[in-house]
Amino acid sequence: MSIARSHPASRAASHRRGLPAGRLGSWITWGCVAFFLFNLAALILSVVVNSFGTSWFAGWLPQGFTTAWYSDAWSEFALGEVLQTTLAVTLAVVALSLLLGVPAAYALARRDFPGKRVVLLLLLLPVLLPPITYGIPLATVLYKFHLAGTMTGVVAANLVPALPFVVLVMTPFVEQIDTNVESAARMCGARTRQVFTRVLVPLLLPGILAAGILVLVRTVAMFELTFLVADADSQTLIVALYSAAFTPGIRAAQAIDAMAVIYMALSAVLLIIALVFVNPTQIVTQVREATAE
């Protein structure tokens, strides 16, 4: 009887002894996260402050502030042409990836055919592999066909990782639509093209917007593939920023930081818009399910 009475008490005591350790682990975890966020914010803030500073050699703040570095960066690095090229490349990649990716997602969601898992695995390879692993062979092929250094080559290179993103985002949207809706449309006399354009596309519009914005963010941030196939007339903003920072020549650090701030602001705006329309957890779930098969 004494053993039976002491057993719950000892278990409760061990639970009380383990509680501070759990709280200590939580505090350590949150402390590490706060330390990381603090350093990241300090790094970004230093770039932003330096982009407005006249000179900054000592002290917590520059000796003066000016916005002239942004105009200098705009003229020195031809940011107007670079932004036009970035816009043209991203819009072309978004349009082509949606045009090809939405029907592919519909086929994968609705049809069972031999080799379906192989096709899905091939679509997922650009997501699972680092871009540099297939970027060099891809650039070699584009150079062989004289497409590297052109807008067509840059768009073709960025389509390789963009299509899997569209398929991953659109597949769950297609699966959520009841097949009876399509059957009812066909019973009313609608053909396949009419079912797709008048019934499915309006229902898939949120997914199409999410996929398009996601591809837009991905293309603006894609450095490896664009760097391997672009030249001075077809480089996007991120490649132009790398060239300004690391190519030989004397350039003001404040002008380069101003260019970096422009890139960070553009990426942040696109990322916020993307998070409004797409759930990253949904994409991760799709990748896990596809790889598990």
Task: Label residue 180 exposed, middle or buried (CB < 10 Å: 0-12, 13-18, 19+).
Answer: exposed
Phi, psi of 149 (to 5 degrees): 85, 5
Residue carrying structure tokens 């002894």: 17
Q: Would you state the pLDDT for residue 94?
A: 93
Spatial distance between the Cα atoms of 200 and 177, rounded to a whole number of angstroms? 8
Residue carrying structure tokens 């705009």: 74
Spatial distance between the Cα atoms of 198 and 217, rounded to a whole number of angstroms? 28
Q: Would you state the pLDDT for residue 156?
A: 93
DSSP 53: B
CATH architecture of the domain with residue range 69-292: Orthogonal Bundle (1.10)
**Tens of pLDDT, residue by residue, the chain (293 residues):** 444 444 555 444 444 455 465 688 888 889 999 999 999 888 888 888 888 888 877 777 888 888 888 988 888 888 889 989 999 999 999 999 999 999 888 888 887 778 778 888 888 888 888 888 999 999 999 999 998 888 999 999 999 999 988 988 888 888 888 888 888 888 888 787 888 888 888 888 888 888 888 888 889 889 889 999 988 888 899 998 888 888 777 778 888 889 889 988 888 888 787 777 666 555 555 545 544 55
Q: Would you state the pLDDT for residue 21?
A: 59
Question: Which three-class secondary structure state does DSSP give residue 131?
Answer: helix
Q: So where are the chain's domains?
A: 1-66, 69-292
Task: Find all residues with CB under 8 Å of 77, minimum gap 6, and list them.
Answer: 240, 244, 255, 259
The CA-based angle 57-63-69, given to 5 degrees, is 90
Contact at 8 Å (CB) between 174 and 109? yes
Spatial distance between the Cα atoms of 126 and 11, rounded to a whole number of angstroms? 52
Task: Label residue 59 exposed, middle or buried (CB < 10 Å: 0-12, 13-18, 19+).
Answer: exposed
